[in-house]
Structure formats: C-alpha cells, structure tokens
Amino acid sequence: MKRTFVALAILASLAACNNSGTSTGDKKDSLDSVASEKKDRIDSSAEQRKDVVDSTTKHQKQVLDKMDSMNHKKDSVTH
C-alpha cells in the first residue's frame, strides 16, 4: 500500500511539472512581443520628432529666404 502511495505521489509530481502554464517557447514569444511593441513605440516617437525638426527647419529656411529677398531688394534700390 505504501508503494502505491509513493508511486501515485511521484506520478502526480511528474504530471504537475509537465503541465506547467508557460513553456520556454511561450516565454520567448511573449518577450519578443513586448520587445516588438517597445521598438514600434520608439520608432513612432523618433518619426514624430524627425517631422518636427524637418518642419522647423523648413520654416526657418523660408524666413531666411524672405529676409535675403528683402535685403536683395534694398541693395538693388540703393545701387
């Protein structure tokens, strides 16, 4: 009878270990998913910042072009 209980206990522990909730593959997939999500957020943020820099630079160039044009008109009037 003792042998039966010991055998049942061993089988129960083996069955419990075999039915773990997450396997190594599942953990890797989960980590890959989290890493991909973080990368997408970083890429999106970087793209937004790039757009801001581009639009600011474009605006500054336009202002400088207007100032240059005005200075050129002044020079042509005085000469």
Tell me the pLDDT tens digit for each residue of 31-57.
Answer: 889 999 999 999 999 999 999 999 999
Q: How is 6-53 classified by DSSP, letter by letter?
A: HHHHHHHHHHHHHT-SS-HHHHHHHHHHHHHHHHHHHHHHHHHHHHHH
pLDDT at 20 over 60: no
Tell me the pLDDT tens digit for each residue of 51-70.
Answer: 999 999 999 999 999 999 88
Look at residue 69 and give its three-state secondary structure: helix
Give the global pTM.
Answer: 0.47
Nearest Cα neighbor of 31 from 42, 44, 22, 21 is 22
- The pair of structure tokens assigned to 32 is 């890959």
pLDDT score for 64: 94
pLDDT at 19 over 60: no
pLDDT at 79 over 60: no
Using CA atoms, how far apart are residues 39 and 41, in angstroms rounded to an integer?
5
